[in-house]
Amino acid sequence: MQTGTQKGLAPVKFKIDAAASRFTVQTFATGLLSAFGHNPTIAIRDYDAEIQFNSDTIDNGSVRVTVRTSVMEVVDEMKNDDRKKLEQAMYDQVLEPNRFPTAVYESKPITVQKDSAEQWRAHVTGELSFHGVTQSHSFDARVNYMGTTMRIAGEFRLRQSDYGIKPVSFAGGALKSKDELKFNFEMVARQQG
C-alpha cells in the first residue's frame, strides 16, 4: 500500500474502537534487585487511531495514531504503594505529559500481503514523534478483515534512549528498568461513514 488514494477509487476509513481494544507496554527490570522486581505492564488508555485504504483494493493505505501520554496505568498485581510510586516515576521521569502531551505515529506506505480474503499481513513503516524526538519506526501486524470491522494484532519494541529518556531507577539504582520497552496491541477497527 502507498499513502494517498488513486484516482477513481474511494478511500475507506476505519477508526480504532479503544474501548474494545487492548494496547499495552511492558517494561523489564534490571539491576542487583531485579530478581525481586516486577516487569510491569502498563495500559495505554487514551488514544485515537485511523486507518485508510482504497475501497476496491488494499492499496494506498495509511495509519495515524495519537496517544495522550497523561492517561496510562500499571495493570499488574502489586502493592498499592508500589503502583503509585511506579506511576509517579513514569509520569515525572519518562512521559512528562505537561511538556509532551501526545505521542504521534504516522505511517508511510504500508505493505500488505493477503493470506486470504479475510487475513492479511501488514508491514508498517512511518515516523514516531515521542518526547520531543521523531524517529523512523516499523512494525508488523496481523489483520483479520471482516468487511466493516477489522481486528489488528502485533507487537513492537523501542528503546527509551532513542527518544532522550533515561530508564527509571529505584532503590538507589539497585532496581531499574531496561532501556527497551515491548508494546503489544490487539485492536478492533470499525468502518466510518
Among residues 151, 154, 144, 140, the alpha carbon closest in space to that of 183 is found at 154
Please tell me the distance from the alpha carbon of residue 46 to that of residue 103, in angstroms, as a whole number. Answer: 11
Please write the tens of the pLDDT for every residue from 118-171.
999 999 999 999 999 999 999 999 999 998 999 999 999 999 999 999 877 765
- Which residue is it, cell 501520554? 69
Q: Give Cα separations from 73 to 84, 88, 172 (angstroms).
A: 9, 10, 24
Tell me the whole-structure pTM to 2 decimals. 0.86
Among residues 103, 185, 125, the alpha carbon closest in space to that of 150 is found at 185
Max intra-chain CA distance, the chain: 62
Query: Domains (ranges, CATH) in the chain?
Result: 11-191 (2.40.128.110)
Beta bridge partners of 42: 25, 74
Please tell me the distance from the alpha carbon of residue 21 to that of residue 34, in angstroms, as a whole number. Answer: 31
Please write the tens of the pLDDT for every residue from 16-56.
999 999 999 998 877 654 555 668 899 999 999 999 987 66
